[in-house]
Every structure is written in structure tokens, then in C-alpha cells.
């Protein structure tokens, strides 16, 4: 990819713009302190068909709440607490919003591509001011597919008439980075805003 060829930057949301911490959510919801138990419960919740279907937009939060009570034996209060902390633990990652603002001010297109739930997106829009910075956003719950399936990257490119060759995607998960690269995009694995900025500038971006 030629230096300076990038015209738009695409951001994942969880652990790039806002924190996503399943272990913290479990600890806060259930008061568990044993690490092995916390990890097991987080897997049961967030790697379940219920969570995947919620992210694909196939079920509602209310339906997921009921399924967790039925399948995992949660009380109604525990299920309500779970979805409360799913949203309330999503704090801003230091420096990313400033990074987005500077990239946008320099004239680059700025987009979001996220595996996410309708209710979480609504919470983020109501709580923070960053969402209007995006020129467009592709959300798994609206597309019915998840990263790193190629269909979700193609949906982003098609919906906003972007060329993969002049687009860079930023995500914290290596398999999602690889998914973007597989469809012809440049990609950066996010660790923090300073590292991300340095890698973007190494690609030729000027901001």
C-alpha cells in the first residue's frame, strides 16, 4: 500500500473507543471473587448463543434477559444487573476520541465497524458525544453477521462507497484485524491511542 493512500479510518468500538470488560461485568453483577469462577461465568454469558444472537440482532435484550434466566439459572435481579453493568462499565478509552477528532479535522473519513447490540449503541449515543463524529457506522446487530466474517467488512465498504485499498481498520482483536486485511484493507491492532496514532502516521496519515 502506497504511503499516503489512506483516505478513511474505521474504528471498532469495544476496547478501542470504550472499554469492554466481561470479567468486570461478572464481578460487579454477581460479586464473585474467585478468578476461575468469574472466567467460567463470563464464557457462559458472553460466548453463548444468546449473546451472539443479541449481537446479530436476532433477539432483543428482553429476550436475552429471559434466556439467561432460563438457561443459566439467573434470578430476575441478576439478569437486570448484568445488562446494567454491560452498559455502565463502558467507559471511554483514554485518548481515542481526541484521536478521532484530529483525524476527522484533517479531512479523512471516519467510520465505525462494531459487533454490537442495539441497546448498547443507544446507550453510547445517549451517554457520550463521539458517535456523531462518524461519517457512518456498520453495526453487527443491523447486519446479522459478526467480525471477522467478510460479509460485515463488505457491508461497510458497500454502504459507504469506500474502497478497501484506501481504508484502514482499527480493532483490538487480532482475528478481526486479519479479517479486514483479508478483504484488502489496511489494519492496525489497537493497544492504546498513542500506539494507534504512531501506526496511522507510519501508514502516511498526516494529522
CA 191, distance to chain mean position in Å, is 14
Structure confidence at residue 66 (pLDDT): 98
Strand order in the sheet with 8-11: 136-139, 109-114, 8-11, 167-171, 186-189
Output the average pLDDT for the chain.
97
Grid cell listed for 39: 472466567
pLDDT tens across 4-32, in order?
A: 699 999 999 999 999 999 999 999 999 98
Q: Locate cell 455502565: which residue?
A: 88
Residue 142: predicted pLDDT:
97
pLDDT one-digit tens code per residue, 156-194: 999 999 999 999 999 999 999 999 999 999 999 999 999
In which band, very low, low, confident or very high, does the pLDDT at 88 lie, cut at 50, 70 and 90?
very high
Query: What's the sign of the alpha-carbon dihedral 128, 43, 31, 172?
Result: negative
Predicted pLDDT at 173: 98
**How large a percentage of the chain has pLDDT more than 90?**
97
As a dihedral over the C-alpha atoms of residue 56, residue 57, residue 58, residue 60, rounded to 10 degrees, the angle is: 130
CB neighbours of residue 21 within 10 Å: 16
pLDDT band at residue 202 using 50, 70 and 90 as cut-offs: very high
pTM reported for the whole predicted model: 0.95
pLDDT confidence of 74, banded at 50, 70, 90? very high
Band (pLDDT 50/70/90 cuts) for residue 1 is very low
Q: Note the pLDDT of residue 4.
A: 66
Amino acid at each position: 500500500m502506497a504511503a499516503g493512500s489512506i483516505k478513511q479510518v474505521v474504528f471498532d468500538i469495544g476496547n478501542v473507543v470504550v472499554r469492554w470488560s466481561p470479567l468486570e461485568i461478572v464481578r460487579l453483577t454477581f460479586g464473585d471473587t474467585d478468578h476461575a469462577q468469574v472466567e467460567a461465568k463470563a464464557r457462559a454469558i458472553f460466548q453463548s448463543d444468546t449473546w451472539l444472537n443479541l449481537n446479530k440482532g436476532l433477539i432483543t435484550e428482553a429476550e436475552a434477559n429471559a434466556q439467561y434466566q432460563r438457561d443459566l439459572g439467573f434470578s430476575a435481579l441478576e439478569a437486570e444487573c448484568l445488562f446494567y453493568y454491560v452498559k455502565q462499565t463502558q467507559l471511554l478509552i483514554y485518548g481515542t476520541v481526541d484521536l478521532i477528532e484530529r483525524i476527522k479535522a484533517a479531512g479523512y473519513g471516519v467510520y465505525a465497524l462494531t459487533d454490537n447490540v442495539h441497546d448498547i449503541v443507544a446507550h453510547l449515543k445517549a451517554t457520550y458525544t463521539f458517535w456523531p463524529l462518524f461519517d457512518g457506522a456498520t453495526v453487527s446487530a443491523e447486519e446479522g453477521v459478526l467480525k471477522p466474517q467478510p460479509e460485515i467488512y463488505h457491508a461497510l465498504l458497500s454502504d459507504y462507497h469506500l474502497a478497501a485499498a484506501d481504508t484502514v481498520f482499527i480493532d483490538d482483536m487480532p482475528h478481526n484485524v486479519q479479517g479486514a486485511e483479508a478483504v484488502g484493507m489496511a489494519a492496525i491492532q489497537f493497544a492504546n491511542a498513542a500506539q494507534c496514532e504512531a501506526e496511522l502516521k507510519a501508514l502516511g496519515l498526516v494529522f
